[in-house]
Amino acid sequence: MWTASESLPLPLAPNAAISLLDKCRTLSELRQVHARLVKSGLISHPRVLRRLLLCRARPPKVSFLSDSNDVQECFLLYSRMLSRGNDLHGVEFSLPSLLKTCGKSSAFFQGWQLHAQVLKSHFQSDPFVFNSILRMYLDFNELETARQVFDRMSQRDVISWNSMIAGCLKAGDVKLALRLFDEMPQKDIISWNSMINGLMKCERCDLAEKLFESMAQRDVVTWTAMVSGYVLNGHSEEALELFRRMLDADVQPDAAAIVNVLAAITDLGFCDEGKWVHAYVCRSNIKLVSGVLGSALIDMYSKCGLVDNAFSVFRSICHERRVGDWNSMISGLAVHGLGREAIEVFDEMRRMEVEPNDITFLGLLKACSHSGMIKEGRFYFKLMQERYGMEPGIQHYGCLIDLLSRSGLLEGARRIIEDMPMEPDAVVWKSMLSPCVRHGRVDIGEHAAMRVIELAPHDSSCYTLLSNMYAKFRRWEDVERVRALMKERGVRKIPGCSSIMVKGEVHEFLVGKEMGVGRREVVLSKLEEVIHRLRLEGYEPDLSQVLVDVEEEEKESLLSFHSEKMAIAFGLINLNKGAPIHIVKNLRVCGDCHSFSKLVSRVYNHEIILRDQNRFHHFKGGSCSCNDYW
């Protein structure tokens, strides 16, 4: 930088002095600049004094008080400044940084002291200082105190209003936030965007929509706030539709908007729109390494069933990959049951000297679980601890327990739960339920189910799995007892729902829900035809999958109404011969529907790509990618 023997040009301008202070990297350098400021007479300049006082040397760099959480050190420097005189000259430039530090550090007592000092001084009319006090109380989650500060402010600017409204929304007081927004004398685009974003975070999409539609002008931030809000609240179709409107309005989306719309497409599970968005990114020369855009594309293709496309994106960013890109690829391969391929990507990651993180190992453990690789799963669980010094979290333990349970090693899974360093949550216990049903371990299954019910009393899936386990062994009284408990607690079973996209439109098939005039008859007629043809090929409905105490004929009828069967029939009616049939189901596919789908893929020569609650199944030529392990 410079040496003590070198001189700085005098006189020194304030901006130049501030620039020199910003370049300081050691205490020695800071002292040199301080000395020059004294000689130049700039030591009394308010802006220069503020920057000097905010700097504190900490090799190898200099930080500012506003970025520090060290309240004691900040107040020590502040006290030294006050001891230099009683006129408080320049204090107004330091107070906001100190107040910010108090808010970030939850330093209530120090914050109150500063507030008291302001009330006793001439800073009462300084909006910059009072805006900092307001934000400090909002950081403390002291909404009532913040409101009192706001009401007593002699001057309120747009920052005051925006801060108060944002604080109300953060605290969940939507009514007060709306009232303040209506009273706000002048609203800039930032005010509107903050309000929409806050309402979306409060899950008030309806109010955000009204504000959005009433806006005279919208920028890319406005549109992105709406799209991301829809995604956050689980309204993926609305997010996708709004993104289309955004393009029609000639608003060019930024990387944040594209990442959010890709998340919406990922949730829906259909790739046609995702391919179009990818093409748009390429046409617009938006770099895939922009933030998490590359990872979002990899994730979208993987979760829409096109793992080869995901791999192409992954390869295309080979020179600029982030750890998130590697993680997305490993997780994408995992959900398709491609455990060996996931391990190969991890090995390449290590060769490229990219440091894995806890998410990397979570993806690896899921890959091992979906592929039944017990030895490898145990190896990577150990590797993350011994080689990389990472303590497994509850999700890592959950994956290992899931791996052992799926493989029938239920006693081993139970021992891991007992030895875990943290209390098992509902997800951990629930991972044992389906394997207990499949392997007939009622004793372990009952205990696991009771723990889930205790931890998540309104989760319908645990009641359903427990009921199914009793039904499998014809314990009908226990089945009725579980159903009575559900009724008593107001817990409803989640109905099976399968979706299919045809000609850009998503069609849902929900058990017990009408399909619309005319469509029901057409779909059921086609399904009847398909079942008849499959019977000629040796198909026999697996009546053991119907876990209710009814006659055999009724069981067969109930199997026919499973949502994925109706979606497949609809696809056979409306898609071109040989075209892939993409289906997304909200629950785990049952054994009978799995056998049915395998046979349809061979007899009708359609690849069926089915994403269920846990993973992907690619049915082709009469077999499934999961090798009947799911």
Q: Is residue 319 part of a domain?
A: no
User: Between vectors from CA 178 to CA 174 and to CA 179, what angle results, nearest 5°?
Assistant: 120
Domain that holds residue 444: 402-494
CA distance 12 to 40: 6
Tell me, yes or no, whether 511 and 605 share the same domain.
yes
Q: In 3D, which of 251, 321, 237 has the Cα closest to residue 280? A: 251
Is 470 inside a domain boundary? Answer: yes
What's the pLDDT score for residue 77? 67
Q: How many angstroms separate the CA atoms of 538 and 453, rounded?
A: 41
Q: Is residue 142 part of a domain?
A: no
Residue 476: phi, psi to the nearest 5?
-65, -30
Q: Would you state the pLDDT for residue 65?
A: 46
Q: Residue 167 has which token pair?
A: 């604080």
Helix axes 158-170, 189-201, angle to 10 degrees: 10
Same domain assignment for residues 517 and 561: yes
Q: Which residues of the chain have pLDDT under 70?
A: 1-12, 25-28, 44, 46, 49-50, 53-71, 73, 77, 80-93, 287-291, 512-518, 543-557
Q: How far apart are CA 612 and CA 461, in angstroms?
A: 15
Given this model, what pLDDT does residue 38 score? 75
Q: Rounded to two decimals, what is the model's pTM? A: 0.77
Asked whether residue 220 is assigned to any structural domain, the reply reads: no
485 and 536 part of one domain = no
Residue ending a domain, among 444, 476, 494, is 494
Rounded CA separation 11/575 (Å): 79
pLDDT for res 514: 62
Q: Does 619 lie in the same domain as 504? A: yes
Residue 123: phi and psi, rounded to 5, are -85, 0
Statement to judge: residues 481 and 502 lie in one domain: no
In a domain, 293, yes or no: no
537 and 485 together in one domain? no
The answer to whether the beta carbons of residues 593 and 565 sit under 8 Å apart is yes
Last residue of a domain, one of 451, 476, 494: 494
pLDDT, one tens digit per residue, over 136-182 is 999 998 999 999 999 988 888 888 998 999 999 988 899 999 999 99
User: Are both 502 and 475 inside the same structural domain?
Assistant: no
Whether residue 64 lies inside any domain: the answer is no
Query: Of 444, 472, 494, which closes a domain?
Result: 494
pLDDT for the residue 350: 94
Spatial neighbors of 287 by CB under 8 A, at least 6 apart, are: 293
| 620 and 548 share one domain | yes
Query: Do residues 440 and 545 share a domain?
Result: no
Same-domain pairing of 410 and 442 = yes
CB 506, CB 270: distance < 8 Å: yes
Greatest extent of the chain over all pairs of C-alpha atoms, in Å: 100
- 466 in a structural domain: yes
Burial class of residue 170, CB neighbours in 10 A (0-12, 13-18, 19+) = middle
Phi, psi of 521 (to 5 degrees): -65, -40
In whole angstroms, give the CA distance from residue 571 to residue 554.
26
CATH number of the domain enclosing 454: 1.25.40.10
What is the number of domains present in the chain?
Answer: 2
Q: Supply angle C-alpha 489, 490, 493, rounded to 5.
A: 110
Domain membership flag for residue 554: yes
Is there a single domain that holds both residue 620 and residue 523? Answer: yes
Whether residues 434 and 516 fall in one domain: no
